[in-house]
A and B are shown apart, each in its own frame.
Chain A
Amino acid sequence: MHPRTRLLIRKIIAHSVLITVCALILIPFAMVVLASFRKGNFPPSALLMNPDQWTLDHWKYVLGIPYREMLHAATGETQLVVPTVAPLRWFLNSILVSSIASFGIILLSGTAAYAFARLRFWCRSQILTGLLVLQMFPQILTLTAYYRILNYIGQHFPWLGLNTFPALILIYLSGISINIWMIKGYFDTISPTMEDSARIDGASRFQAFISILLPMSIPIFAVVFILSFISMISEYPTASVVLQESANRTLAVGAYSLLDEHEKLWGHFSALAVLSGVPITMMFLLCQRFIIGGLTAGGAKE
């Protein structure tokens, strides 16, 4: 076979694989976007839509803007729809909880990882392994316990009981062992001589940590922040148990409530689903510039 033909065939095969994979990812997304603009509450289906089916009603509902909904097409009777709790509220709840919890996670796992990476103490490696083992049990298994504990705490400190954001954040902060491992792994790659040098320069351990190790570790912190942010935006089980009032729901819980057994509001759901992608995308764009290699370059010769 002529080398040119062979190259062409290889290109065709490679491209068809790539296009298939892209289609698998993009088509469902396009379907959801279309469904969010389609009149009536239909589950995402076709990729083509009549122009007269376009509507912004679902988006108005999600953003809490009142709109008139057609009741009977024949009589032209309409009804003003005002959502009792606008899904936008859930969206903001989610961003609040996820941001605070992600910062908390960075703070806790960063300091814990420092201890595991740099200090020597009794049972260090056992605790480190223990963390990993603990993480293997899904958090969902402990939900009933969380419920009882929060119920009890709520009787004494209402701000930390059921139906409060601090309670949810507290639970989220408990799942950091993977993050500790990730950050510790990154710290291990940074030569400890830089902190040694800082200590000779007069820095305390804490100062060396803050002003030498942390600035060099920004990429891993950006990664941990994004990953925890995404997982919390989409987290359902814990949030659904802790937050039970409609106004307190987070995005995932709220979105699921739109798919009630008796009335599946596919249009509203689709609009909310698309909206939920916004903060994650924003966070990526914000953090992307920190996730760059070479921050430690030039400090120490490997």
Chain B
Amino acid sequence: MVLKNNSNPRTAMNDGAVHITDLIKTYTDDRGRPTFTAVKKINLEINNGEFMVLVGPSGCGKTTTLRMVAGLEKITSGTISIGDRVVNDMEPKDRGIAMVFQNYALYPHMSIFNNMAFGLQLAKKKKDFIQETVSRTSKALGLDHMLERKPQALSGGQRQRVALGRAIVRNPQVFLFDEPLSNLDAKMRVQMLSEISRLHAQLGNTMIYVTHDQVEAMTMGDRICVMKDGLIMQVADPLTLYRQPENLFVAGFIGSPPMNLLKGKVEKEASGLVFREAAAENGVVIPLKGPIEALAGKVLGKTIVFGIRPEHLTEESKNGSTTPVSSTIDIAEPMGSESLVYLRAGTGNLIARIHGEALYHMGQPLTVYVNLDKVTLFDTETEGVIQ
């Protein structure tokens, strides 16, 4: 695949860096009265060539942010700059961006060739140049034999590839993706996922990718920006996000199945500190040993959330600080290499990802060992992590 456009060499190294400063978006009604603030003063630095994923539940402001970068949505306040230019008042075409939409947004009355050439035609490029660029790009995307067709005659995956091609021929500094895979079936999604990754590897452009799917975010992103209610919850690379969530929201949002979160108190007993789940009776009690003990000592008596990933609940005691919890199996989902086991411990529920050969049955008692080195404690008031 040769996709690189040589016609417009970039000069500065940070051409594709995107800086978002104090960005606010408040929607207004027809009269201009504010109705809803979708983005609440966010700051985000996206480096040149970085693949940044904006992820969050619907209504978190991620698409609004992307549309503001694209210039399709007016900025209420704050600045967005691409490279070293502030683009707040620039037309979308002058920002050096290209965008791929969730619903493809192809021009249905135009052939595939014209769909891809439309931008170049508007920019009054020479005919030979347009012909050359479109045919090179379509060839690289495997679309060269269907250039005369209308979008209607294409499958979903092909349509999204046309949309990708239309973005590529614009030779942008920044690619913007607005949930580009949401309308595709599972198989096509995996294929397009790798195609976009490959595109990023080849072009080396900055890419901003919006999705609500945390698995997609984890697989694609150099860095991931988790958003909720118009605020940024955490920006980090996928593994940091997974291992060191900064708050309860990120801990619960990233990871599938999600992190086990137990609400309760740290209490002092004769044997040492324990975590006691808040429940009328039979709450889970987890003795705290090792490094976690010092941390737990700071929040003695306070209501906290005890977080542990499913893979850190194991069937057998491992080296290091583990502590047993007895439970009953509720549902077991054997998946071959591992089993997801839904446990009832005390009054609460736990999910464990257990590697093992054994088949589990409902109602069977099982003692799981909590790896205390991997525990994260959260403050219930600030919802932040306790450090």
Residues on A close to B: CB < 8 A? 120-125, 191, 193-194, 196-203, 207, 212, 215-216, 294-302
A301 touches B103 (CB 8 A): yes
Question: Does B166 reach chain A (CB closer than 8 Å)?
Answer: yes
Question: Does B305 reach chain A (CB closer than 8 Å)?
Answer: no
Question: Which of B54-62, B115-123, B133-141 is the interface stretch?
Answer: B115-123
B170 touches A298 (CB 8 A): no
Which residues of the other chain, B, contact A296 by a CB distance below 8 angstroms? Answer: 108
From B72, B105, B151, residue with most partner A Cβ within 10 Å: B105
CB-CB nearest in chain A for B32:
A122
B99 touches A200 (CB 8 A): yes
Which chain B residues numbered 104 to 154 have a C-beta less than 8 Å away from chain A?
104-109, 118-119, 122-123, 150-154
A200 touches B151 (CB 8 A): no
Main secondary structure, interface of B, reads loop
A198 touches B118 (CB 8 A): yes
Q: Complex: how many Å from CA A194 to CA B123?
A: 18
Which residues of the other chain, B, contact A299 by a CB distance below 8 angstroms? Answer: 104-108, 151
B30 touches A201 (CB 8 A): no
Question: Which of B90-98, B186-194, B200-208 is the interface stretch?
Answer: B90-98
CB-CB nearest in chain A for B109:
A215
From B70, B98, B109, B122, residue with most partner A Cβ within 10 Å: B109
B192 to chain A, nearest CB (A): 14
Contact of B105 among A196, A203, A294 (CB under 8 A): A196
Which residues of the other chain, B, contact A202 by a CB distance below 8 angstroms? Answer: 92-93, 119, 122-123
B109 touches A216 (CB 8 A): yes
A sample of 15 more A-B contacts (CB under 8 A), given A120-B28, A200-B93, is A122-B31, A123-B30, A193-B105, A194-B106, A194-B107, A196-B72, A197-B101, A197-B166, A199-B71, A201-B118, A202-B92, A203-B93, A295-B109, A298-B151, A301-B159
Which residues of the other chain, B, contact A199 by a CB distance below 8 angstroms? Answer: 71-72, 91-93
Which chain B residues numbered 330 to 352 have a C-beta less than 8 Å away from chain A?
none
CB-CB nearest in chain B for A120:
B30
Question: Does B156 reach chain A (CB closer than 8 Å)?
Answer: yes
Which residues of the other chain, A, contact B93 by a CB distance below 8 angstroms? Answer: 199-203
A294 touches B122 (CB 8 A): no
8 closest residue pairs by CB, A with B? A298-B152, A299-B108, A201-B119, A202-B93, A298-B151, A193-B105, A300-B103, A202-B122
From A120, A197, A297, residue with most partner B Cβ within 10 Å: A197
Contact of A201 among B31, B109, B122 (CB under 8 A): B122
Which residues of the other chain, B, contact A212 by a CB distance below 8 angstroms? Answer: 107
